[in-house]
A and B are shown apart, each in its own frame.
Chain A
Amino acid sequence: MQVLQEYKCPSCGGAIAFDSNIQKMKCPYCDTEFEMESLLALDEELKKQLPDDLEWNSKAGGEWAEGETDGMVVYGCKSCGGEIVGDANTAATSCPFCDNPVVIMGQFKGALKPDYVIPFKLDKRTAKESLYKHLKGKRLLPKVFKDQNHIDEIKGIYVPFWLFDADADVSIRYRGTRVMAWSDQNYNYTKTSFYSIIREGDIGFEKVPVDGSTKMDDDLMESIEPFNFNEAVDFQTAYLAGYLADKYDVTEMESIDRANQRIKRSTEEAFRSTVRGFATVIPEHTSIQLKNGKAKYALYPVWILNTTWKGKKYTFAMNGQTGKFVGNLPMDWGAYWKWFSLYTFIFSPIIYFIAKMIV
């Protein structure tokens, strides 16, 4: 049964993984490098071998409470026979015993096969360095956070995204005013002219991403946008080797609302920018029809770093392609009041002095 996929090195038999630095598969044991293209053919062959039904074991022992093991799946490692425990959405992981990267092929069967993948370009070391850069220059960050802070976990994850293409058919009517002012000897005149402003047209959007995994916070995923889709390639499971991957658990239909929201707002802004030369503009009627909606399924590379400080968990995310690094940080209130007092102390006399000069 071909449930798990390991990519074995043809020359030494070791498990090989994708190397983001050389953008190729590389054997960690004998340093042999493999072109992705050659693996594509192999990949196709392997898929043909895939059985129609997925065999898995749910080891629900008597001591497990009802529902506790729901969504838990156990696979047997192809290299060492150890048990790999994943959840129902795990698509790529590594064996906890022999650390060999494995890809769970069944997660990419049929309609579940992603259309595109953006391979990792940045490695774990870059992610670590980015974290330290992220902590630098933030004066309200507690000083001890940097020292006491250690990375609990760092993982490269291919996050499932839905990419929406859509054309928006737009008809918007605004109410606008123009104001003219002039004066003669005795009076100031203000003339307010009212206009009805009509804009109709269309605008296209492509590859608007929506996070398709409930495990990833939506705001965290939107914060590391944008991904450069030009570097996306057709999906191959080989890219996943060495990383973690999940299949989507938010459906296309569930994701479309978020995409629509963003598309609608951008459309409004784009058409609003064609209304110029008015003092005030208020939309009176807006009609946006989305057409030709298409969704694609893609895996985007994300480094996730978890740290704990004072019992609280902090999650950081780095765009595995562009290196954009985000994550909220704790604040040192003592430092806050110190800076607040200092600036008050500096600016109050300055204001007083300026007032003295001009009043």
Chain B
Amino acid sequence: MKDKKYIKVFILFLMVFLLFPSTILGDTIPEERQLPRLVDNAELLTDEEFDNLLAKLDEVSERQNFDIVIATVNTLGGLSPTEFADDFFDYNGYGMGKDHDGIILLLSMEERDWAISTHGFGINAFTDSGQRHMMDSVLDYLSDGNYYDGFNTYIEFSDDYITQAREDKPYDNNNLPKAPLSPVWIPISIGGGMIIAFIITAIMKGQLKSVRMKRAATGYIRDQSMNLRRKRDLYLYSSVTRTPRPKNNSPSGGSSIHRSSSGRSHGGSSGKF
């Protein structure tokens, strides 16, 4: 793959000026996208997987008018994963439309870091909770070394998130997309249905039985005959137990924003895989 070789060379070159972005590149952000939407510098994918993923990224990005980018590198060159992802996005001219809408998923193999950086409409579409929810699924694959499926999941989630953000409000902590229901629920549902059916038929069965002993003689209490002579509620002692409160750290929702070296605003998150 000639293309790939060329890209690799380019990336190497890029790495150099990413270390010193302001001195070499200045603060110039190119107007046009400089690289394909999939940059596999860490060579995690086979050629066939690479082609498939790139085709899919291009298709979804063009359709949504929103750049969905994947980049893998071997080293971050001293930057934090987030900084690297921001700069990679900015200085390679990713982002579509006048606001440069886009998202990048960066993997660095050196310390097994991942980072997401969003820009423009991407900041709205990918809320903090939304990203966490997406990466929960993606990381399952990445941690197993199944990069192809992980990236595919990322593309599918992104497609869904963008559509949701355009048509309704973005996925956030109170309206996260539903994961497909675990098959465990099939026997649980049948069991529950049987319990309800059992209760209803038990009621129907109960209609057939009308002969039973009376429990008490409640109907035969003489009117006003009850007389309470002594009524005391005597306090004895009390005991206090305390349990630590569960820390309430559910995020407030929305997207947190930071500023990249180029001065532009990005959303994003990062972690290890």
Contacts known (A208-B217, A345-B193); A195 close to B245, Cβ less than 8 A: no
Which residue on chain A has the smallest CB distance to residue B196?
Answer: A347
For A353, the closest partner residue in chain B by CB is: B189
Question: How far, in Å, is A195 (CB) from chain B's closest CB?
Answer: 5
Nearest-neighbour CB distance to chain B for A316, whole angstroms, equals 9
Some 29 contacts from A to B, beta carbons below 8 A apart, are: A137-B207, A138-B204, A140-B208, A141-B208, A188-B243, A191-B240, A193-B236, A194-B236, A195-B236, A197-B233, A199-B230, A201-B228, A201-B230, A202-B225, A202-B226, A203-B221, A219-B211, A223-B214, A266-B220, A328-B210, A330-B208, A336-B204, A342-B197, A343-B197, A343-B200, A347-B196, A350-B193, A352-B189, A355-B188
| Residues B204-258 near A (CB distance < 8 A) | 204-205, 207-222, 225-245
Is A225 at the interface (CB under 8 A from chain B)?
yes
Q: Which of B178, B218, B229 contacts A356 (CB 8 A)?
A: B178
Taking CB atoms and an 8 Å cut-off, the chain A residues in 186-220 that contact chain B are: 186-208, 217-220
Q: What is the count of residue pairs linking A and B with beta-carbon distances less than 8 angstroms?
A: 209
Instruction: Among A187, A190, A352, point to the contact of B181 (Cβ < 8 A).
Output: A352
Which single member of A225, A266, A348 contacts B221 (CB below 8 Å)?
A: A266
Of A11-19, A47-55, A96-104, A257-265, which binds chain B?
A257-265
- How many residues in B have their beta carbons less than 8 Å from beta carbons of A? 54
- Given the interface pairs A326-B210, A339-B200, A340-B201, the reply to whether A204 lies near B221 with Cβ below 8 Å is yes
Quote the shortest CB–CB distance from A203 to chain B (angstroms): 4
Chain B residue numbers with a CB within 8 Å of A341 are 197
Give Cα A188–Cα B215 distance, bound, in whole angstroms: 42
- Total count of chain A residues near the partner, CB < 8 A: 76
B237 / chain A contacts, CB cutoff of 8 Å = 193-194
Which residues of chain A are near B209, meaning CB under 8 Å?
328-329
A270 CB-CB contact with B under 8 Å: yes
For the complex formed, measure the closest distance between the CB of B206 and the CB atoms of chain A, giving whole angstroms: 10
Whether A270 pairs with B240 at a CB distance below 8 angstroms is: no
CB pair B217–A265 under 8 Å, yes or no, is yes
> Which residues of chain B have C-beta atoms less than 8 A from A350's C-beta?
193
Q: Is B198 an interface position by the 8 A CB rule?
A: yes
Assess the B178–A195 pair: CB atoms within 8 A.
no
- In the bound complex, residues from chain B placing their C-beta under 8 Å from that of A311 are none
A323 contacts the other chain (CB 8 A): no
B192 adjacent to chain A (CB < 8 Å): yes
**Which residues of A approach B to under 8 Å, CB–CB?**
134, 137-141, 167, 176, 183, 185-208, 217-220, 222-223, 225-226, 259, 262-263, 265-266, 269-271, 274, 317, 325-331, 336, 339-352, 355-356, 359
Q: Are B235 and A195 in contact (CB under 8 A)?
A: yes
Cβ-neighbour of A351 out of B192, B198, B214 (below 8 A) = B192
Contact (Cβ within 8 A) A262 B242: no
A187 to B204 alpha-carbon distance, docked (Å):
49
Taking CB atoms, residues of chain B closer than 8 Å to A259 are: 217
* Given A195-B234, A201-B229, A266-B216: A329 touches B208 (CB 8 Å cut-off): yes
Of A187, A197, A218, A355, which one neighbours B243 at CB under 8 angstroms? A187
Is there a chain A Cβ closer than 8 Å to B1's Cβ? no
Q: Is the CB of B217 within 8 A of A274?
A: no
CA distance A218 to B212 in the complex (A): 9
B225 CB contact (under 8 Å) in A187, A203, A219: A203
Query: Among B210, B213, B217, which residue has the most Cβ atoms of chain A within 10 A?
Result: B217
CA of A296 to CA of B206 in the docked complex: distance in angstroms? Answer: 35
**Residue contact A188 to B245, C-beta cutoff 8 Å:** yes
**Residues of chain B lying within 8 A (CB to CB) of residue A329:** 208-209
Contact A222 B214 (CB under 8 A): yes
Nearest-CB distance from B238 to chain A (Å)?
4
Cα(A350)–Cα(B195), bound, Å: 13
Q: At the interface, yes or no: B194 with Cβ under 8 Å from chain A?
A: yes
Q: Please pick, from B185, B188, B211, the residue contacting A326 in the complex, using a CB distance under 8 A.
A: B211
A197 & B232 in contact (Cβ 8 Å cutoff) = yes
Among B214, B239, B242, residue most surrounded by chain A Cβ atoms (within 10 Å): B214
Q: How far is the CB of A165 from chain B (nearest CB, A)?
A: 8
Residue in A closest to B222 when the chains form the complex, CB atoms: A204
Q: Give the nearest-CB partner of B195 in chain A.
A: A347
Closest-by-CB residue of A relative to B209 is A328
Min CB gap B173→A, angstroms: 16
Say whether B201 contacts A189, CB under 8 Å.
no
Q: Kindly provide the distance from the CB of A353 to the nearest chain B CB, expressed in whole angstroms.
A: 9
A202 to B229, CA, bound (A): 8
Write out the residue numbers on chain A whose beta carbons fall within 8 Å of the beta carbon of B239.
191-192
Given contacts A195-B236, A346-B193, contact A204 B225 (CB under 8 A): yes
A347 to B236, CA, bound (A): 50
Residues in A neighbouring B219, C-beta threshold 8 A: 225-226
Interface string of B155-194 (1 = CB under 8 A from A): 0000000000000000000000010010001101110111
Contacts of A265 in B (CB 8 A): 215-217
* Cα A327 to Cα B181 with chains together (Å): 48
Cβ-defined partner of B193 (8 Å) among A193, A217, A343? A343
Within the complex, what minimum Cβ distance (angstroms) separates A124 from chain B?
A: 21
Q: How far is the CA of A199 from the CA of B201 in the complex (A)?
A: 42
Of all chain B residues, the one with the shortest Cβ separation from A258 is B213
In the bound complex, what is the Cα–Cα distance between A191 and B245 (angstroms)? 16
Knowing that A198-B232, A266-B217, A355-B181 are A-B contacts, what are 11 other residue pairs whose CB atoms are under 8 Å apart, sorted by A's residue number? Answer: A188-B244, A189-B240, A190-B241, A190-B242, A190-B243, A196-B232, A196-B236, A198-B230, A199-B231, A266-B221, A349-B193
Q: How far is the CB of B37 from chain A (nearest CB, A)?
A: 34
